[in-house]
């Protein structure tokens, strides 16, 4: 008698970070469920990370779990940031593939079937690329473009422009990311650092369904600085070259002043020139010290070896 082989159903984990998103949770899960309920060949697990929300996000997630059994809630002890939430999601994900997306509906759940289709064709990383950044201000778009160009020019790790965290990665890629030990994590850079060939899926960014982003311009600026110092030492090298250049200029200028005084008898005028030079080079030194401090600060934090996040409770 011929025995039938059991059908193995593959699992897709979806990582969903939440921070003060209580108002939009019912609509988000309704849209997501409309998509994944029509993909019958896979089992889905929805890993929801409550990143220290101060509103009613946790009760809203607990209410959603009563309706959608695939939800697992990871409740942080406080707000550790989105990078920590994504790290937790990757560590808890058990799926054969892992999808990362935001929960404000700017990342359309309707792209998930196309992600899975490309993954099943053998692609280990599927990136979602914005067709435009029309939902952002002109200044923010300009600064984002400058960041991507600067980062990719000074770092060996190239981040595809107009891509974010919205992506699908294979289990193999997820395991590689989980082996990375650093606590100060710039996930866009880490996704690129592990390598693997990728394919792009383009999409239009929708306006936020509810509320305002908690990621201010100041946080974005610091995040960009984090990305640059995480994957390049060029800023340190620049100040080495700047120091050599300034030293050379100062040496030749001093020689010129001395020779002029010896052979031409010209006194060196100088109060305004001296004051300007002191202020200029003092500012230059402070900038250099600040750049050096960024790297020393990273070393200081990494040497503490603190956990990236702490979990208050897990609701399965």
pLDDT in tens, 82-115: 889 999 999 999 999 999 998 888 889 999 999 9
pLDDT at 32: 92
Average pLDDT of the segment spanning 245-270: 69
Phi, psi angles (nearest 5°) of residue 314: -125, 130
| pLDDT bucket at 1, cuts 50 / 70 / 90 | very low
Average pLDDT of the segment spanning 162-169: 87
If phi > 0 it is left, if psi is from -120 to 50 it is alpha, else beta; for residue 83 that is alpha
- What distance in Å separates the CA atoms of residue 107 and residue 162, rounded to the nearest whole number? 13
| Residue that wins the pLDDT comparison between 245 and 26 | 26
Answer whether 190's CB lies under 8 Å from 177's CB: yes
Report helix, strand or coil for 215. coil
Rg (CA), the chain: 26
- What distance in Å separates the CA atoms of residue 150 and residue 68, rounded to the nearest whole number? 43
Both structure tokens of 107: 């990342």
Answer whether 22's CB lies under 8 Å from 55's CB: yes
With a cut of 80, say whether residue 283 has pLDDT above it.
no
Percent of the chain predicted with pLDDT > 70: 82
With a cut of 90, say whether residue 45 has pLDDT above it.
yes
**pLDDT digits over 168-213, tens only?**
999 999 999 999 888 888 888 888 888 888 888 888 887 776 666 6
DSSP string, 23-90: GGHHHHHHHHHHHHTT-TTEEEEEEEEE-S-SSSHHHHHHHHHHH-TTEEEEEESS---HHHHHHHHH
- Find tokens 């929801």 and name the residue: 48
pLDDT at 4: 53
pLDDT at 10: 87
Average pLDDT of the segment spanning 132-140: 68
Q: Helices (H) and strands (E) in the chain — how many of each?
A: 10, 8
> How many CB atoms sit inside 10 A of residue 138's CB?
8
Cα-based distances in Å from 104 to 17, 23, 92, 249: 10, 10, 22, 54
Average pLDDT of the segment spanning 22-48: 90
pTM above 0.85, yes or no: no
| Residue that wins the pLDDT comparison between 140 and 298 | 298
Percent of the chain predicted with pLDDT > 90: 32
CA dihedral for 19, 24, 30, 31, sign (positive or negative): negative
Average pLDDT of the segment spanning 149-167: 79
With a cut of 50, say whether residue 146 has pLDDT above it.
yes
| Residue that wins the pLDDT comparison between 288 and 117 | 117
């Amino acid at each position: 008698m011929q025995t039938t082989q059991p059908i193995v159903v593959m699992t897709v984990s979806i990582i969903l970070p939440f921070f003060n998103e209580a108002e939009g949770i019912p609509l988000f899960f309704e849209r997501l469920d409309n998509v994944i309920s029509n993909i019958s060949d896979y089992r889905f697990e929805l890993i929801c990370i409550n990143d220290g929300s101060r509103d009613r996000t946790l009760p809203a997630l607990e209410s959603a779990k009563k309706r959608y059994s695939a939800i697992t809630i990871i409740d942080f002890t406080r707000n550790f940031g989105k990078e920590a939430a994504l790290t937790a999601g990757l560590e808890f994900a058990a799926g054969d593939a892992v999808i990362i997306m935001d929960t404000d509906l700017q990342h359309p759940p309707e792209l998930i079937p196309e992600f899975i289709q490309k993954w099943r064709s053998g692609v280990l990383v599927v990136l979602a690329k914005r067709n435009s950044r029309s939902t952002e201000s002109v200044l923010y778009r300009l600064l984002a473009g400058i960041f991507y160009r600067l980062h990719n020019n000074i770092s060996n790790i190239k981040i595809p422009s107009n891509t974010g965290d919205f992506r699908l990665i294979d289990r193999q890629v997820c395991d590689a990311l989980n082996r990375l030990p650093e606590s100060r994590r710039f996930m866009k850079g880490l996704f690129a650092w592990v390598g693997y060939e990728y394919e792009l899926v383009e999409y239009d960014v929708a306006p936020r369904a509810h509320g305002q982003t908690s990621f201010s311009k100041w946080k974005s600026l610091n995040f960009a600085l984090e990305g640059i110092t995480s994957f390049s030492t060029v800023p340190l090298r620049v100040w080495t070259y700047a120091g050599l250049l300034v030293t050379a200029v100062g040496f030749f200028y001093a020689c010129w002043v001395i020779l002029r005084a010896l052979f031409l008898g010209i006194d060196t005028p100088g109060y305004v020139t001296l004051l300007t030079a002191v202020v200029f080079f003092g500012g230059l030194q402070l900038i250099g010290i600040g750049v050096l401090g960024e790297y020393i600060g990273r070393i200081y934090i990494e040497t503490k070896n603190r956990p990236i996040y702490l979990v208050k409770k897990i609701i399965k």
